[in-house]
Structure formats: structure tokens, C-alpha cells
């Protein structure tokens, strides 16, 4: 939540900061701002409500000149989204500016003390206390003042600070919010995420918790909070900068959906050698894994849904029992995990606050911890004992797609790896599964090719939904108010069984987060226990019904919906002939694949359906309202 970008060097800083903030806009987009050193004895700040383009418009008319600046794009926690609450925040002399990502938990007490000392606050944010504290402790050296101020602060932060008194200097620090330094030639960058600096350098340093960095254009000095120097070499990032661009697609989400077959191919190529699976970066010896008696998977949102699929995979491929929990629930119960438990934390960003806290709780209880995450060097990858990277490249759209299938791919491979270690499966069976898995990216590609051929039809179906939706609303509102019974059920219901049940909730999540249309995902067997009461001719019921051991049960469930006038959209295996008898609204066919791998195929139409509906409704697909890409606060 919130993106920070800073630059110091020889170039004009304003365009770089704007470009960097645009790359970080997925982290929050309710207001933004920039603070510039321009040689005078005051810092110049421009900030505004809304997206970066609003800031850009103002700056185009009145550019800020200078070569050292920090910028911020905000996702509001304390204080409404407004110009006043937008970062950067200034001290009372306008000589120090701070941008911040995180939450200062004791800000209320700090604010009270500072007010008693005569400070007048200009915003409702928690962040503003930081700048006043830095000003209070400032005696000619910014890093000393920052270190001193941070001793008063409780909470989480990634900050970048500049002062007009020390030209060319940016001081940044972090605790539990991400911050990365980009080392260039005669210039240095600081940002919340590598994707913002990749265009300029691939030499990066991940700042650790409790560290403070002083950046000048030709130096980068890291210390701990006590001022002790820390030496760290940059790491080279192999992500290609074009991966963080739209590449001709109208939205990042669509581009990322189409990247999936290529990502899976690359994952398989990297991890599978002959019939053996290799996780070179895992750091957990096979002997330690052999002691594992149970697995607990923790994650949030889409990554949690991947974890649910993981349960089916591990329980099919091994004889280890598996539990799956949302990180926010896991961390506050008293989870029964210990030295015989493998806790797997799944996360695209590797920065999700609850998942990070869950791993810490698991470590406290002596469990073995492993993270499956996408971002190299992220907090989770450093916190967990072991790591497996998904290598899906930067995921920019807030709605996660390619990270999900990459997580699934790693879970399949991990399941096969464990079965190889534990010998829980006949070697011939394991090889057959692996052979089929190697073929799955090709099936995904052929489904997406088919979508491209049939794109107009998908758009038409989304349009039909829009028309039906508004007709129903019109009918309702034009009726005599006394005769109105209730609003029409303009919503989507997603049903799935067994290993495709998690995709039902994933499909519903995708739709609601980008189109704001209510959607529910359910295991179909639960229909009769309540949700069937919702069925009439209004909701769209997406039935995930590929060939599987529960296919007949699924068909019975579809019939029950049909008998109540339900509007059904089944997702079936190609060549299915019986589904037409149920007179569906339309049918989506996926290529034939074993049930165990089918989630990798059935999720594609769910992602595309959400995309098409949101596009038809004209929503901001890549940056849906109220959301941010990484949830680094609780
Ligand atoms: O970075 P993470 O994978 O830990 O993020 C978890 C969720 O915040 C994330 O999956 C979220 O639910 C997405 N917006 C879903 O599309």
C-alpha cells in the first residue's frame, strides 16, 4: 500500500519520479505528490488528489526543476484521500519532506506531544509525525535525525526523506514495508518495488528491517538504527523491463493472462530435469523435509486460493495431511504447529503483512517455514527458512492472474518433489503425471488462441449480461414502488467441486474486484444447504464442470439450478455432448486434461470472463477502486 520513489543524480528528477510513480501506481492511487530540492532554502512540494495523471497535468504546467526528489502514490490508511493528506509531508519550516509507506501505530501519542511542543499539523495522517520528529532532532545531519526520530516510532515504515539543507541527499529507512535501492552510474534510486527502477538499472540492494541508507548520486551508505555501517553488495535482477509494460495489450491484466502459458513453460524448463524436480534455491535439505508430518498453508486472497488447490495436490501426491488458512486468521489463533510441521506461505509480492506475521508466528513455534513467492529478495523470501520463486515476472494488474497459475505450477512440482522424496507414489505413476504436466502449457496456449479467435463472441456475451442486468434494474425501478418485491439478483454464482472448488471462489473474487458486481463462489455440494434459495432467472451461474470423478454430481447440481430457472454458463471439457440438453446460456469448452491439472485450464475462462465484464462496464481494470497490489498493513 502506497508507493515511494526517489531519485538523486544529474538528470532532471521530475520526469523520473513521475515515471517511477506510474510504475508503482498499482500500490495505491488515491492521491500523489512530489518533493524537490531546487537549490533554495525550502523544499518545493506539489501534490494532488487522485491518480498520477492529475499530478502530471499540474507539473506539466508548472514544472519543478532539480535533480533530487522523492515522490509518493497513496492508498489511504489514516485520513481520507485528499490533497492535504497526500504525501510528501513537510516540517513547519518547509525544509524537510517525508514520504512514507506503512502505519505509525503510536502516532496519536506522538502527535499530542508534538502539538504540546508547538507543532501545528497540516494533515490527518500518521506520517506527518515523522517529518516533525526529524525536524525536532535535526542538527545538520539528516541520517542522524532520521535514526533518532525512528527510535520514537512504533509501527511499520518505508520512508524517504530529503532536506533543503543537504543538497543531493536522500535518506531512506525501512521496517516491515518494502524498500529497494537501485544503483546507477552517477545516480541512485529508491523505490517500493524493483519494477519502478528496472528501466534505469538492474543492480539493486534490498534494504533490511532496521536499516537506514544515505544516498548521494555517487554513494550509497547503509547503517543500522544505531549508526553502525553495514556492507551489502547489489544483486542483479533478471526481469526484463518490457515485462513491466503493456506490450500492445489494452490492459496489464489481459497481457498477464496471455503470459501464463509462457511462464509455465519456463517454470517447467527450469525445475524439471529428466524426471527429477529441482528447487535449487530451496535451502531446506531433503532430510529436513522427511521429518514433516503435516503441512499448513497460509496466504491471502488469490494466493490463498492457490493454497486451497495445493491441499488437493499434496493430499493426492503424498500422504501428508494438509490444512489451509488465511494468514490473518492463522496469526491470531494459537495454531498447533511445531517442529514436525511445514508451514508454506504463498504470496505474489512477498510483502503481505499478515502472511509475513504468520511466518513469524510459525517460526516462533519452531515450525519449518517455506515461502512460494514471486518477488526476488522480498520480505517473505528473507523471513522464511526456505524459498521457491515462481519467476512469473512483475505482475502489475491488481487482479492477480499469472501469479496464481505460477503458484499452482510450483505447488504441483512441490507435490511431485515430495512424492519423489517420500516415495508415496509409484515411480511410473509419478513420471506419467510429470509427462502430462509438461504438456499443460500447450493446452493453456490453445485455449487462449481459441479465445482470440472467438473474442467478439466473449465481448458479445459480456454485453448481453450488461443489457440483461440493466433491463432487470429498469424493470424493478419502473414498477409501482408498492409492488416492488426486492431488487433483482444481478450477481454471479460460481460453483465447482473437488480440486475445482478453489477456482469457483477465485473466479468470483476476480469478477468482484474489477467489476464491483457481487459474486459468490461455492462448492456445488453446498448449494442445497442454503445458496440455492438465491436462484431464479437472474443470477448468472458459472458451473465449473470438466471431466472429473465428480462430473455426474456436478451435472445433477446444474439440473437443480436449471429446474429453478437458473441462467447457467457451464465450463466443460471439449466434446462434451450432454451439457447442451440442459439448454445453457452458453458453453465454454476447455481442452481435455486430467482432473488433477484441470484448475490450470478452468481458471483461464474465469479470468477472461471477469476481464470482459469489467471491460464492458468500462471499469478501471488494472487499478480497481479501494484496492492496492500489496497489502503491507493489517
Ligand atoms: O502479494 P500477495 O500474493 O500476498 O497478495 C495477496 C492478495 O492481496 C492478492 O492475491 C489479492 O487478493 C489480489 N488482488 C487478488 O486478485
For ligand 1, atom 11, name the residue with the nearest CA. Answer: 301
Residue 97 has a pLDDT of: 98
| Residue 623 beta carbon below 6 angstroms from any ligand 1 atom | no
What percent of the chain has pLDDT above 90? 72
Order of strands, edge to edge, in the sheet holding 519-523?
519-523, 492-496, 540-545, 567-573, 588-590
Residue 191 has a pLDDT of: 96
CA torsion angle 598 601 606 611 (round to 10):
160
CATH number at residue 75: 3.60.20.10
Give the number of other CB atoms < 10 A from CB of residue 449.
12
Say if 192 falls within a structural domain.
yes
- Domain identity same for 355 and 493: no
* pLDDT at residue 631 is higher than 90: no
Beta bridge pairs of residue 295:
322, 342
Which tens digit of pLDDT belongs to each residue from 533-560? 888 887 889 999 999 999 999 999 999 9
Report the C-alpha gap between 540 and 535 in whole angstroms. 9
Report the C-alpha gap between 197 and 241 in whole angstroms. 9
End residue of a domain, out of 243, 276, 298: 243
Mean pLDDT of 274-282: 90
The answer to whether 564 and 591 are in contact (CB under 8 A) is no
| Residue 347 beta carbon below 6 angstroms from any ligand 1 atom | yes
Q: List the single range of 16-30, 297-311, 602-616 with lowest mean pLDDT.
A: 16-30
| Residue 400 beta carbon below 6 angstroms from any ligand 1 atom | yes
How many Cα atoms are found within 13 Å in the side-chain-facing hemisphere of 405? 34
| Residue 301 beta carbon below 6 angstroms from any ligand 1 atom | yes
What DSSP line would sit under 408-451, residue for residue? HHHHHHHHHHHHHHHT-S-HHHHHHHHHHHHHHHHHHHHHHHHH
**Cα 142 to averaged position of ligand 1 atoms, centre (Å):** 36
What percent of the chain has pLDDT above 70? 98
- Domain identity same for 173 and 121: yes
- Domain identity same for 292 and 215: no
Q: Cell digits for 268? A: 517447467
| Residue 399 beta carbon below 6 angstroms from any ligand 1 atom | yes
**Cα 84 to averaged position of ligand 1 atoms, centre (Å):** 29
Q: Cell digits for 469? A: 442486468
Which tens digit of pLDDT belongs to each residue from 418-461? 998 888 899 999 999 999 999 999 999 999 999 999 888 888 88
Residue 514 has a pLDDT of: 96
Mean pLDDT of 349-372: 95
Say if 623 falls within a structural domain.
no
Beta bridge pairs of residue 5:
71, 191
Residue found under cell 456436478: 554
- Domain identity same for 401 and 488: no
Choose one of 302, 629, 632 to mutate for the ligand 1 pocket test, by most ligand atoms within 8 angstroms of C-beta. Answer: 302
**What is the domain extent for residue 171?**
3-243
Say if 366 falls within a structural domain.
yes
**Cα 630 to averaged position of ligand 1 atoms, centre (Å):** 7
The answer to whether 506 and 302 are in contact (CB under 8 A) is yes
Say if 46 falls within a structural domain.
yes
Atom of ligand 1 nearest to the CA of 352: 4
Which tens digit of pLDDT belongs to each residue from 68-105? 999 999 987 777 888 899 999 999 999 999 999 988 98
**Cα 113 to averaged position of ligand 1 atoms, centre (Å):** 38
CATH number at residue 409: 3.40.50.10490
∠ CA 469-472-477, rounded to 5°: 125
φ, ψ for residue 133, nearest 5 deg: -65, -45
Which tens digit of pLDDT belongs to each residue from 40-62? 899 999 999 988 999 999 999 99
- Domain identity same for 237 and 261: no
Residue 118 has a pLDDT of: 95
- Domain identity same for 431 and 460: no
Report the C-alpha gap between 163 and 41 in whole angstroms. 9
- Domain identity same for 299 and 365: yes
Q: Give the Å distances, CA to CA, from 30 to 27, 46, 81, 97.
A: 10, 15, 6, 20
Residue 286 has a pLDDT of: 86
How many separate domains does the chain show? 3
Report the C-alpha gap between 83 and 85 in whole angstroms. 6
Say if 632 falls within a structural domain.
no
* pLDDT at residue 10 is higher than 70: yes
For ligand 1, atom 7, name the residue with the nearest CA. Answer: 301
For ligand 1, atom 12, name the residue with the nearest CA. Answer: 301
**468: CB partners within 8 A, 6+ apart:** none
For the chain, the first-to-last Cα distance in angstroms comes to 11
- Domain identity same for 392 and 460: no
Choose one of 352, 384, 387, 512 to mutate for the ligand 1 pocket test, by most ligand atoms within 8 angstroms of C-beta. Answer: 352
Mean pLDDT of 225-240: 88
**Cα 400 to averaged position of ligand 1 atoms, centre (Å):** 6
| Residue 615 beta carbon below 6 angstroms from any ligand 1 atom | no
| Residue 379 beta carbon below 6 angstroms from any ligand 1 atom | no
| Residue 381 beta carbon below 6 angstroms from any ligand 1 atom | no
| Residue 380 beta carbon below 6 angstroms from any ligand 1 atom | no
Q: Cell digits for 483? A: 409492488
Atom of ligand 1 nearest to the CA of 401: 16
Report the C-alpha gap between 305 and 211 in whole angstroms. 34
Say if 634 falls within a structural domain.
no
Task: Locate all alpha helices (DSSP H) within 77-141, ordered by sequence.
Answer: 107-116, 128-137
Report the C-alpha gap between 50 and 559 in whole angstroms. 48
- Domain identity same for 257 and 307: yes
Q: The whole model's pTM is what?
A: 0.81
User: Residue 325, SS3?
Assistant: strand
* pLDDT at residue 244 is higher than 70: no
User: Is residue 484 very low, low, confident or very high in pLDDT (cuts 50, 70, 90)?
Assistant: low
- Domain identity same for 260 and 225: no
End residue of a domain, out of 243, 266, 283: 243
| Residue 631 beta carbon below 6 angstroms from any ligand 1 atom | yes
| Residue 607 beta carbon below 6 angstroms from any ligand 1 atom | no
For ligand 1, atom 4, name the residue with the nearest CA. Answer: 347
Say if 469 falls within a structural domain.
yes
Say if 546 falls within a structural domain.
yes
User: Is residue 378 very low, low, confident or very high in pLDDT (cuts 50, 70, 90)?
Assistant: confident
* pLDDT at residue 462 is higher than 90: no
End residue of a domain, out of 448, 466, 500: 448
- Domain identity same for 267 and 392: yes
Burial of 303 (0-12, 13-18, 19+ CB in 10 A): buried
* pLDDT at residue 245 is higher than 90: no
Q: What is the DSSP letter of 176?
A: B
- Domain identity same for 276 and 424: yes
Identify the helix (H) or strand (E) that includes residue 159.
strand 155-163
Atom of ligand 1 nearest to the CA of 627: 14
Which tens digit of pLDDT belongs to each residue from 496-521? 999 999 999 999 999 999 999 999 99
**358: CB partners within 8 A, 6+ apart:** 298, 325, 327, 330, 331, 343, 345
Mean residue pLDDT across the chain: 92
∠ CA 132-138-4, rounded to 5°: 60
Q: Cell digits for 625? A: 477502486
Mean pLDDT of 172-185: 93
Residue 198 has a pLDDT of: 87
Give the number of other CB atoms < 10 A from CB of residue 235.
15
Report the C-alpha gap between 257 and 14 in whole angstroms. 33
Q: Is 629 a catalytic residue?
A: yes
Identify the helix (H) or strand (E) that includes residue 381.
helix 379-383
Residue 322 has a pLDDT of: 97
Mean pLDDT of 6-12: 97
Catalytic residue among 2, 220, 300, 373: 2
User: Is residue 485 very low, low, confident or very high in pLDDT (cuts 50, 70, 90)?
Assistant: low
**Cα 301 to averaged position of ligand 1 atoms, centre (Å):** 5
User: Is cis: bond before 294, omega within 30 of 0?
Assistant: no
The answer to whether 373 and 395 are in contact (CB under 8 A) is no
Which tens digit of pLDDT belongs to each residue from 328-354? 999 888 889 999 999 999 999 998 989
* pLDDT at residue 115 is higher than 90: yes
Burial of 254 (0-12, 13-18, 19+ CB in 10 A): buried
Give the number of other CB atoms < 10 A from CB of residue 565.
10
Amino acid at each position: 500500500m502506497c508507493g515511494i520513489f526517489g531519485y538523486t543524480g544529474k538528470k532532471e528528477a521530475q520526469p523520473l519520479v513521475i515515471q517511477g510513480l506510474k510504475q508503482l501506481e498499482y500500490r495505491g492511487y488515491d492521491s500523489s505528490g512530489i518533493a524537490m530540492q531546487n537549490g533554495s532554502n525550502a523544499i518545493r512540494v506539489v501534490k494532488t488528489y487522485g491518480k498520477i495523471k492529475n499530478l502530471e497535468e499540474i507539473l506539466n504546467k508548472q514544472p519543478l526543476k532539480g535533480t533530487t526528489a522523492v515522490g509518493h502514490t497513496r492508498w489511504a490508511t489514516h485520513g481520507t484521500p485528499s490533497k492535504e493528506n497526500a504525501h510528501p509531508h513537510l516540517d513547519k519550516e518547509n525544509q524537510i519532506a517525508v514520504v512514507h509507506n506503512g502505519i505509525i501505530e503510536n502516532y496519536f501519542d506522538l502527535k499530542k506531544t508534538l502539538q504540546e511542543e508547538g507543532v501545528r499539523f497540516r494533515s490527518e495522517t500518521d506520517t506527518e509525525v515523522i517529518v516533525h520528529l526529524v525536524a525536532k532532532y535535526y542538527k545538520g545531519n539528516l541520517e542522524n535525525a532520521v535514526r533518532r526520530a525512528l527510535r520514537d516510532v512504533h509501527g511499520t515504515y518505508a520512508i524517504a526523506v530529503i532536506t533543503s539543507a543537504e543538497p543531493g541527499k536522500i535518506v531512506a529507512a525501512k521496517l516491515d514495508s518494502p524498500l529497494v535501492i537501485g544503483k546507477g552510474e552517477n545516480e541512485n534510486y529508491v523505490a517500493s518495488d524493483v519494477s519502478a527502477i528496472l528501466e534505469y538499472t538492474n543492480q539493486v540492494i534490498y534494504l533490511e528491517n532496521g536499516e537506514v541508507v544515505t544516498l548521494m548520486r555517487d554513494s550509497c551508505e547503509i547503517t543500522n538504527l544505531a549508526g553502525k555501517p553495514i556492507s551489502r553488495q547489489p544483486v542483479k535482477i533478471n526481469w526484463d523491463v518490457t515485462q513491466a509494460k503493456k506490450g500492445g495489450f489494452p490492459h496489464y491484466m489481459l497481457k498477464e493472462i496471455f503470459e501464463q502459458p509462457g511462464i509455465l513453460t519456463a517454470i517447467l524448463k527450469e525445475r524439471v530435469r529428466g524426471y527429477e524436480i529441482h528447487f535449487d534455491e530451496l535451502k531446506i535439505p531433503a532430510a529436513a523435509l522427511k521429518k514433516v508430518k503435516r503441512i499448513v498453508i497460509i496466504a491471502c486472497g488469490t494466493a490463498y486460493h492457490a493454497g486451497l488447490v495445493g491441499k488437493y495436490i499434496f493430499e493426492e501426491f503424498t500422504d501428508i495431511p494438509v490444512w489451509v488458512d488465511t494468514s490473518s486468521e492463522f496469526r491470531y489463533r494459537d495454531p498447533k504447529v511445531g517442529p514436525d510441521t511445514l508451514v508454506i506461505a504463498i504470496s505474489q509480492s512477498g510483502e503481505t503483512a499478515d502472511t509475513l506475521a504468520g511466518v513469524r508466528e510459525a517460526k516462533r513455534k519452531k515450525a519449518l517455514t517455506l515461502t512460494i513467492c514471486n518477488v526476488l529478495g522480498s520480505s517473505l523470501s528473507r523471513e522464511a527458512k526456505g524459498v521457491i520463486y515462481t519467476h512469473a515476472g512483475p505482475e502489475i494488474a491488481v487482479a492477480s492472474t499469472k501469479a496464481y497459475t505460477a503458484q499452482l505450477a510450483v505447488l504441483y512440482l512441490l507435490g511431485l518433489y515430495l512424492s519423489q522424496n517420500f516415495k508415496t507414489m509409484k515411480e511410473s505413476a509419478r513420471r506419467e503425471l510429470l509427462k502430462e504436466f509438461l504438456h499443460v502449457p500447450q493446452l493453456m496456449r490453445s485455449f487462449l488462441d481459441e479465445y482470440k479467435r472467438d473474442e467478439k463472441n466473449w465481448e458479445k456475451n459480456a454485453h448481453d449480461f450488461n443489457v440483461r442486468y440493466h433491463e432487470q434494474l429498469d424493470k424493478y425501478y419502473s414498477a409501482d414502488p408498492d409492488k416492488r418485491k426486492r431488487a433483482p439478483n444481478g450477481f454471479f454464482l460460481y460453483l465447482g467441486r473437488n480440486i475445482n472448488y478453489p477456482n469457483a471462489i477465485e473466479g468470483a473474487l476476480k469478477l468482484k474486484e474489477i467489476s464491483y458486481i457481487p459474486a459468490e463462489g461455492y462448492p456445488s455440494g453446498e448449494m442445497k444447504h442454503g445458496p440455492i434459495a438465491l436462484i431464479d432467472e437472474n443470477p448468472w451461474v458459472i458451473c465449473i464442470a470438466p471431466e472429473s470423478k465428480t462430473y455426474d454430481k456436478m451435472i445433477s447440481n446444474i439440473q437443480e439450478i436449471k429446474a429453478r430457472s437458473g441462467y447457467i454458463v457451464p465450463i466443460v471439457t471439449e466434446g462434451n455432448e450432454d451439457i447442451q440438453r440442459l439448454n445453457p446460456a452458453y458453453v465454454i469448452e476447455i481442452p481435455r486434461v486430467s482432473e488433477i491439472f484441470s484448475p490450470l485450464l478452468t481458471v483461464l475462462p474465469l479470468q477472461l470472463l471477469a476481464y470482459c465484464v469489467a471491460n464492458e462496464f468500462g471499469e478501471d481494470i488494472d487499478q480497481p477502486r479501494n484496492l492496492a497490489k500489496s497489502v503491507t498493513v493489517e
